[in-house]
Amino acid sequence: MKGIYMITHIGHICILVKDQKEARDFYVNKLGFVVVEAHEDGQGGFMWLVVAPKKDNKTVFTLMRPTNKAEEALVGKQSGQVPFAVLVTDDCRKDAAEFKSRGVKFVKEPTDEFWGVDAVFADLYGNLLDLCQPKQR
């Protein structure tokens, strides 16, 4: 099968959010992300809101409103008790301290692991994200 697939990277990771403006505030003002795209729907809200650590990231988070009751029930629970994404950093302890000073709640403090320094925090709805500083090889 080698060579027949043309997938080059993961583009968007969609996250269901109750309120796109408050979700944008969390990712931008608490985590330091930037808004990559924001297209309003003409009714006072966002239809398409994309954030990332940097403008040129290939993988981005698309913050989407639920479209039905089943999706509403998934807000904050999209990956259960497993972090839905790993955010890689050069200094886990420094970033964790900065995030905490901005009100981010950690469920696992920075800890030395065999793969590096690792911490886990919750977004504003309870979804878990992993903050990881890989060991230098």
**Do the bridges between strand 85-88 and strand 128-134 make them parallel or antiparallel, or are there none, so unpaired?**
parallel
The verdict on 97 and 126 lying in the same domain is yes
This prediction's pTM? 0.89
51 and 25: one domain?
yes
What tokens were used for 23? 């979700």
Q: What is the pLDDT of residue 5?
A: 78
Q: What is the pLDDT of residue 136?
A: 83
Please check whether residues 90 and 136 belong to one and the same domain. Answer: yes
Residue ranges, the chain, pLDDT below 50: none
Query: Does 134 lie in the same domain as 81?
Result: yes
Domain count of the chain? 2
Q: Give residues with Cβ within 8 angstroms of 110, minimum separation 6.
A: 92, 93, 96, 117, 118, 119, 131
Check which CATH number belongs to the domain holding 39 and give it. Answer: 3.10.180.10
Query: Is-contact 30 23, C-beta < 8 A?
Result: no
**Residue-level pLDDT at 3:** 64
Give the separation between CA 115 and CA 135, rounded to whole angstroms.
6
pLDDT at 47: 82
Domain that holds residue 8: 1-75
pLDDT for residue 117: 97
What 3-state DSSP class applies to 54? coil
